[in-house]
């Protein structure tokens, strides 16, 4: 098997929520595999700082600030990228948020904020990009699911619901779009030390529990998600469709 199967040279990747954490790591990995990058976020200053950092690594990057929870703004931004930058070959739906609390007292506005960011954005962005990919007969969409697409923990019910929906939306997108030459898959990260998990990684009790619960005995490093993303974005995965690949240090493999 040639290493060229994994090359992303000549491809353009849009990564949402890419100003920090997992999104920034995935952008770095795809860029190092040869892709031109368009990184998205809502915080212009953070996005520009991330863009500068990627350029310092020698990567080809453009920053595009838009709100992926706003369907009209997302459609307009995708059209602009297609015209000004060129075809989007790879989409990574990474934008996400977390708010914790017991379900019996969880505020409706927080529930809707999580669903808008973690689920609506995946639909809005994928639909807008797919409308360009379908006539070309090719494209890669990678959704970021979660360990919580399969299991639940106390206090993160709305997040769990949103990520379970991302898992099945991935399957639905595959069902509708595979016939048009698109591959739609998801990555399900386990526990990684990111800004989204800051409250957990700084909790000594949780940290000890996680290390004991995870067969690998540690938190994941965001760079360890890059290989899976490169594989799913490349020609090596041309017949992989509708799948969720869990990168979790073995948590789901054991009880």
Which residues belong to the active site?
159
* CA 221, 248, 67, 59 torsion-angle sign: positive
In angstroms, the Cα distances linking 176 to 182, 187, 233, 241, 243 are 9, 19, 19, 11, 14
Say if residues 181 and 59 touch (Cβ distance below 8 Å).
Answer: no
Q: How far is CA 205 from the centre of its chain?
A: 28
Beta-carbon contacts of residue 39 (< 8 Å; ≥ 6 apart): 14, 15, 18, 19, 23, 24, 27, 47, 50, 51, 54, 61, 62, 63, 64
For residue 80, give the 3-state DSSP assignment: helix
Name the maximum alpha-carbon separation found in the chain.
Answer: 54
Q: How far apart are CA 113 and CA 111, in angstroms?
A: 6
183 has which bridge partners?
A: 140
């Amino acid at each position: 098997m040639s290493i060229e199967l994994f090359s992303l040279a000549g491809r353009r990747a849009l990564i949402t929520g890419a100003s920090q954490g997992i999104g920034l790591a995935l952008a770095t990995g795809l860029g190092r595999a040869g892709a031109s990058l368009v990184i998205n976020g809502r915080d212009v200053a953070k996005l520009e700082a991330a863009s500068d950092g990627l350029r310092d690594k020698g990567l080809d990057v453009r920053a595009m600030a838009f709100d992926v929870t706003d369907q009209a703004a997302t459609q307009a931004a995708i059209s602009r990228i297609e015209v000004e930058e060129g075809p989007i070959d790879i989409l990574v739906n990474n934008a996400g948020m977390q708010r914790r609390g017991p379900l019996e007292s969880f505020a409706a506005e927080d529930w809707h904020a999580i669903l808008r960011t973690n689920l609506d954005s995946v639909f809005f962005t994928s639909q807008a990009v797919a409308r360009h990919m379908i006539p070309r007969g090719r494209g890669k969409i990678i959704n970021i699911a979660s360990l919580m697409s399969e299991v639940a923990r106390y206090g993160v019910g709305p997040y769990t619901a949103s990520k379970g929906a991302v898992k099945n939306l991935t399957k639905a997108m595959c069902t509708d779009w595979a016939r048009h030459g698109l591959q739609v898959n998801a990555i399900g990260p386990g526990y990684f030390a990111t800004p989204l998990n800051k409250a957990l990684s700084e909790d000594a009790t949780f940290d000890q529990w996680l290390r004991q619960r995870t067969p690998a005995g540690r938190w994941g490093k965001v760079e360890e998600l890059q290989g899976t993303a490169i594989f799913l974005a490349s020609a090596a995965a041309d017949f992989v469709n509708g799948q969720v690949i869990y990168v979790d240090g073995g948590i789901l493999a054991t009880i």
